[in-house]
Structure 1
Amino acid sequence: MKKLINAVDDVLAQSLDGFAAAHADIVVLGEERKFVRRRHGRPGKVSLVSGGGSGHEPLHAGFVGLGMLDAACPGQVFTSPTPDQMLAAMEAVDGGAGTLLIVKNYEGDVMNFAMAAEMAPGPVESLILNDDVAVENSTWTAGRRGVAGTLVVEKVVGAAAEHGQSLSELRKLGERVNAHTRSMGVALAPCTVPAAGKPTFSLAEDEMEMGVGIHGEPGRRRVKLASADAIADEMLTAIVADLSLKAASEVLLFVNGFGATPLMELYLMADRARRWLDAKGIKAVRFLTGSYVTSLDMAGCSITVSVLDDHARRLWDAPVHTPALRWGA
């Protein structure tokens, strides 16, 4: 295992210290590194709190700031944060209007966020995300996984929160965005968790995992490596069918790298995805391309399609200023 680390036990703590120092104008690291919060909060606003296992950076801490999250709780690598982390984060960013918990559908995350919500003193609602179309149940889930579509929900709901929408309005909006967002991924090579010191799974040089999860969970099937066009076509076929998209639909196209995929390849995939959608009469009116919801050093990518009505488009375009996502601010 070759990684830029000092000691396995210190990886997360030292990474969080560096992250907080590098973005000190935007975020503050909480006591005992339990959470990352916005440096400049807004009283009277509904607080958005998310989190999950580390190893998916910049998700979630990289999306803390104006127009997105108020706080994020980083667990150990691929491990859910604990309820006390979540409770501390909620208390630190409480603006008096309640808290919306944004939770990817993994059993540990769902259970721990639910426990934290029960202990919270103020009004709390939860939003469970499950945008992955690859499999109905996976290694750590009951039901579909929450994957790269999480970014879309956090951005749209975050913008609405800045505009002063209520807790119940934000939850309903998040449910609509989640219902209109679907993702699927492919792995060309596995990732290596520092504590394990070896790849999480094995792939032959001529194999790929279609529908892989962001922790390296098995996907739909393991097959021979195909061309980029064939990979994109298969993922989009599953996504568009699940969304029941019709011609003239307008969408956000998000091509996400898993950590070890060059931007050149991601843009190639974005180009094919755009052309495939065009051929179906589906118009990609917004794009995002880059490594935003990663899996350590996994090679591969995911494609996310999110249907945009006028309201969702305005919220997507609204100003955002976080360590990882910035425009208009």
Structure 2
Amino acid sequence: MKKLMNGADTILSESLAGFTQAHADIVTLDGSGKFVRRRELRPGKVALVSGGGSGHEPLHAGFVGIGMLDAACPGQVFTSPTPDQMVEAAQAVDTGAGVLFIVKNYEGDVMNFDMAAEMMADMTGAQVQQLITNDDIAVEDSLFTTGRRGVAGTLVVEKIVGAAAEQGMDLAGLKALGERVNRACRSFGVALSSCTVPAAGKPTFDIGEGEMEFGVGIHGEPGRRRAPLATADAIAAEMCEGIVKDLGQVAGRNALLFVNGFGGTPLMELYLMHHSARRLFEGHGVQIARSLTGSYVTALDMAGCSITLALLDDDLLALWDAPVRTAALRWGV
């Protein structure tokens, strides 16, 4: 294993220090190093807090800023953050309008955010709601979840809900909006190689040179099936057909097409997959109104990608287009 690090025990703290130094105009690191928060808070705005294990960068810290999250709690690599992190982050960014936790559907994350919400209510009486994302269609249950996993569609939820929060929507409205966006998103991933957790020092799973894993999770957990490596068009066809089948009626609908790299895939290949996926979705009558391509919800150094289709009406498209200024997403500001 070759990694740019000083040690597995300090890689997270040193990375967070570098991240907040590089983007000091947007974010700041809590003095204890437990969370990243927006540098300038807006009084009276509902606070959006997310988090999860590290190794998925830029998710979630890279989405803290104007028009998205107010704070992000990073756990150790592929490990949920702790409830005390979440409570401290929520208290730091709550300006009186309440807090919405945005949580990917992994058992550790859900359990710890549940505990944090109870602790917040007991300690401060603050209004806290939770929004669970579960856009992955690959498997119904995995090693880490009961029900579908929350994956790249989480970015779409955080962007649209973040825009509405910036415009002054209240806590109940934001939760309902997030649930609506989550229902409109479907994702499917494929891995060409494993990822390597720094503390483990070896690949999470073994995969042959001529193999791929359909439906792999963002922690390297198994997917639907192992298969021989195929052409990009054939890979995209299985992914897109699965998404269309799960969404149901898609003809004539406007959509966002999001092709997400897992950390070890060149942009050349991601754009090629976007070309294949767009052609396939348009063959089903989908109107691709917006696109996003890049590595945003990663699995360390895994090669592969996910495809997300989000069916967005005019109101949701306007919120997607609304200004955003974060380390990883920036337009209109």
- Structure 1 stretches (4+) deviating beyond 4 angstroms? none
Where in structure 2 are the equivalents of 1:207-218 lying within 5 Å? Answer: 207-218=211-222
**C-alpha separation in 2, matches of 1:229 and 1:249:** 23
What SS does the corresponding residue of 1:25 show, helix, strand or coil?
Answer: coil
- The CA deviation string for residues 118-139 of structure 1, in whole angstroms up to 9 with x for no partner, is 0112000000110000000000
Is 1:115 aligned to residue 115 of structure 2?
A: yes
What SS does the corresponding residue of 1:19 show, helix, strand or coil?
Answer: helix
Match of 1:262, as an amino acid?
A: P
**C-alpha separation in 2, matches of 1:260 and 1:81:** 25
**C-alpha separation in 2, matches of 1:66 and 1:16:** 19
Is 1:319 aligned to residue 332 of structure 2?
A: no
Is 1:309 aligned to residue 313 of structure 2?
A: yes
TM-score w.r.t. the length of structure 1 is 0.99
- The CA deviation string for residues 264-322 of structure 1, in whole angstroms up to 9 with x for no partner, is 00000000111111111111110000000000000000000000101100000000000
What SS does the corresponding residue of 2:190 show, helix, strand or coil?
Answer: strand
Q: Could you say which residue in structure 1 is the equivalent of 2:30? A: 30
Where in structure 2 are the equivalents of 1:6-17 lying within 5 Å? Answer: 6-17=6-17
Shift of 1:95: 1.2
- The CA deviation string for residues 115-171 of structure 1, in whole angstroms up to 9 with x for no partner, is 000011200000011000000000010000000000000000000000100000000
What SS does the corresponding residue of 2:66 show, helix, strand or coil?
Answer: coil
| Counterpart selection for 1:276 from 251, 255, 280 | 280
Once the two structures are overlaid, the 10-residue window that deviates more, 153-162 or 238-247, is 238-247
Is 1:147 aligned to residue 154 of structure 2?
A: no
| Counterpart selection for 1:183 from 162, 184, 187 | 187
What SS does the corresponding residue of 1:32 show, helix, strand or coil?
Answer: coil
Is 1:5 aligned to residue 5 of structure 2?
A: yes
**C-alpha separation in 2, matches of 1:72 and 1:304:** 23
- The CA deviation string for residues 238-280 of structure 1, in whole angstroms up to 9 with x for no partner, is 1111111331111000000000000000000000111111111
What SS does the corresponding residue of 2:139 show, helix, strand or coil?
Answer: coil
- The CA deviation string for residues 198-233 of structure 1, in whole angstroms up to 9 with x for no partner, is 000010001000000000010000010011001111
**C-alpha separation in 2, matches of 1:67 and 1:241:** 32
Match of 1:101, as an amino acid?
A: F
TM-score w.r.t. the length of structure 2 is 0.98
What SS does the corresponding residue of 1:8 show, helix, strand or coil?
Answer: coil
Identity value in percent: 70
What SS does the corresponding residue of 2:32 show, helix, strand or coil?
Answer: helix
Is 1:224 aligned to residue 228 of structure 2?
A: yes
Is 1:137 aligned to residue 129 of structure 2?
A: no
Computed over aligned residues only, the root mean square deviation of the Cα atoms, in angstroms, reads: 0.5
Q: Could you say which residue in structure 2 is the equivalent of 1:39? A: 39
- The CA deviation string for residues 167-195 of structure 1, in whole angstroms up to 9 with x for no partner, is 00000000000000000000000000000
What SS does the corresponding residue of 2:65 show, helix, strand or coil?
Answer: coil
| Counterpart selection for 1:249 from 249, 253, 263 | 253
**C-alpha separation in 2, matches of 1:296 and 1:261:** 11
Q: Could you say which residue in structure 2 is the equivalent of 1:85? A: 85
Match of 2:195, as an amino acid?
A: C
Q: Could you say which residue in structure 2 is the equivalent of 1:52? A: 52
**C-alpha separation in 1, matches of 2:95 and 2:236:** 43
Shift of 1:108: 0.3
Where in structure 2 are the equivalents of 1:92-111 lying within 5 Å? Answer: 92-111=92-111
Unmatched 5+ stretches in structure 2: none
What SS does the corresponding residue of 1:260 show, helix, strand or coil?
Answer: coil
Unmatched 5+ stretches in structure 1: none
Tell me the matched-pair count. 329
